[in-house]
Amino acid sequence: MNNFKRKSIYLALAAGIGASGMAMAGGPGNGMYINADGTGQVLLYPYYTTRGGMDTYMSLVNTTGVAKAVKVRFIESRNSREVLDFNLYLSPYDMWTAAVVDTGTGAKVITADKSCTTPMIPAGGQAFVNYAYTGTVDNEDKIEPGNSDANGINIGGRDGESQSLDRTREGYIEVIEMGEIFGNDDILEALTHVDGVPDDCSKLQGLKYSDLYTKLYIDHPTGGLTGSASLVAPGSGTDFSYDPVAIDNFAWHNIWHQAGSIEPDLRHGRDRSLVFYNQQVVDTDWNGTGEYGNPDADKDSVNAVNALLMHRAVINEFVLDNVTLSGTDWVVTMPTKRYSVPIQDPNNSNHDSNHALPPFTSTFWENGACEPVQIEYYDREERTKVVGGFSPPPPGVNNALCWEANVITFNDSNILSSAHSVNISIAEGFQNGWVRMHFDDEGHQQASSNSNHTYYGLPVIGFMVQDFVNLNAAPGVMATYGGSFKHKYETCISGEVNQRYDSCHYAY
């Protein structure tokens, strides 16, 4: 089946389920889904970095004719602690651009764009902060099953890793549409561009919850956001560009929060997911499947996002040619891990009962929260399969991904200069080929008893980067090249799907 037909069938099936699902839990309409067309209500950018002399450039586009309120959030890579967020107001057909650059001690966001943000970004940029992973955890609040603080989002303080601003130098970006703006001509005029500049951004500063439907009218989100990112190394002349993952139909009601609030986040969406699998749409109801099965918890939406991103394996290539001095790095990001992995300070008795929530299996402290993986790689002629491993291995674990945004480098290529990369040592004679990294630990699964569906693997996104050097280039000609390629995946869902029992289709 060609790609056009596959997309058409997917969207038609999704629309059909939506038409018949108006009374389902999670609000009007159908479930959230990955929009193959690249637009949506939520955009997940798998990686930003300022290491190794790199800057990260990002764009965010409103492709619709309606003004939108958007939350923009930057999250560090080790334990997904937030380092900055703000509200962004996009007029119809507006585009916002920014860059993440190094400060000498950490990172900051800079922009020359005139679109309204609250608070306003200073002319010299806004530095990222380390408030969410410094200080001490309140020992009076015992973290226990059913407590929404167990996911580590609402509790700040140290997490066993460095408290330095250096942690802000790499991470990932989350964009969430909070709603469409309508009804108040004063606000709409203020944020709409006149000769390239919004009329009056000051009218958006200081808006509070009490201003909803008096000064600010917000309707439900409708999607249409898209964007891009580029990891640019000016010194070498390389640019690794990628598109964010787009989740559509995420929320069915206004989820606007005033500036200064850490909300909304991925807990504020629907509790249904739609996943195209084995030539059909798997419609899963996650209502009441929140933390530790507590129906009063707020993780139903996160479970739905997990379902969209759950993969049993990640597949991509590597190039290590000696002639072109090629190198390869992978980015593997788990953007929902922070909602499922509490900290577990061994010196804090309040943490004794803490445990990770499915599909994750480890709690976080020094050296991260490590999830076991299995690795195999092939050369281009399929002559040999070699089972490989990471070096250096995490303490007490053979092969594992321990962070929220992980960088895997091949033969110490270190293209992205990550401070916490792991290395795959490729055997001699395997200069080029491909790798399957799979997540087959017994705990790597998430089930919905409502729909009798079980999803296997881990929720991951990301891409591969590789570089090349032309040693025969003419003097004075830039001779370094780079490219990025999104990951391919294997998905595994078992259970009753459209009145037939389905199961996994991969055997290693």
Which of 48-62, 238-252, 426-440 is the least confident region? Answer: 426-440
440: CB partners within 8 A, 6+ apart: 312, 374, 508
**For 109-156, how does the pLDDT look when each residue is reduced to its tens digit (9 = 90+)?**
999 999 999 999 999 999 999 999 997 765 444 444 334 444 455 556
Nearest to 314 by CA among 339, 332, 334, 335: 332
Instruction: Say if 245 falls within a structural domain.
Output: yes
Instruction: Say if 221 falls within a structural domain.
Output: yes
Over residues 459-487, mean pLDDT: 87
Rounded CA gap, 117 and 259, in Å?
9
Which of 135-144, 175-184, 294-303 is the least confident region? Answer: 135-144
- Whether the upstream peptide bond of residue 392 has omega within 30° of 0, thus cis, is yes
Q: What's the whole-model pTM score?
A: 0.91
Q: Where in the sequence is the domain holding 115, given as residue range(s)?
A: 32-78+82-129+169-260
Nearest to 134 by CA among 162, 109, 94: 162
**For 1-20, how does the pLDDT look when each residue is reduced to its tens digit (9 = 90+)?**
444 444 444 454 445 444 43
By the 10 Å C-beta count (0-12 exposed, 13-18 middle, 19+ buried), 177 is classed as buried
- How many structural domains does the chain have? 1
Q: Dihedral through CA 155, CA 156, CA 160, CA 161, nearest 10?
A: 130
Q: Between residues 334 and 397, which one has the greater pLDDT?
A: 334
Instruction: Say if 181 falls within a structural domain.
Output: yes
pLDDT at 196 over 80: yes
Buried b (16+ CB within 10 A) or exposed e, 319-351: bbeeebebbbbbbbbbbbbbbbbbbbbeebebb
pLDDT at 446 over 50: yes
User: 3-state class of 132 per DSSP?
Assistant: helix
Instruction: Say if 248 falls within a structural domain.
Output: yes
Rounded CA gap, 275 and 14, in Å?
9
pLDDT at 475 over 60: yes
Instruction: Say if 458 falls within a structural domain.
Output: no
By the 10 Å C-beta count (0-12 exposed, 13-18 middle, 19+ buried), 215 is classed as middle
- Reading the block at residue 305, the tokens are 């996002």
The predicted structure's pLDDT at residue 355: 82
The predicted structure's pLDDT at residue 16: 43
Q: Dihedral through CA 479, CA 480, CA 484, CA 485, nearest 10?
A: 60
Could you write out the DSSP letters of every residue in 411-455? TT--SS--TT-EEE-PPTT-SEEEEEEE---TT-EEEETTTTEEE
203: CB partners within 8 A, 6+ apart: 186, 187, 190
DSSP category for residue 303: H
Instruction: Say if 46 falls within a structural domain.
Output: yes
Instruction: Say if 93 falls within a structural domain.
Output: yes
Q: Between residues 393 and 427, which one has the greater pLDDT?
A: 427
Rounded CA gap, 449 and 480, in Å?
52
Half-sphere exposure of 76 (CA within 13 A, CB side): 29
Quickly state the pLDDT bin for 105 (edges 50, 70, 90).
Answer: very high
Answer whether 326's CB lies under 8 Å from 466's CB: yes
The predicted structure's pLDDT at residue 30: 87
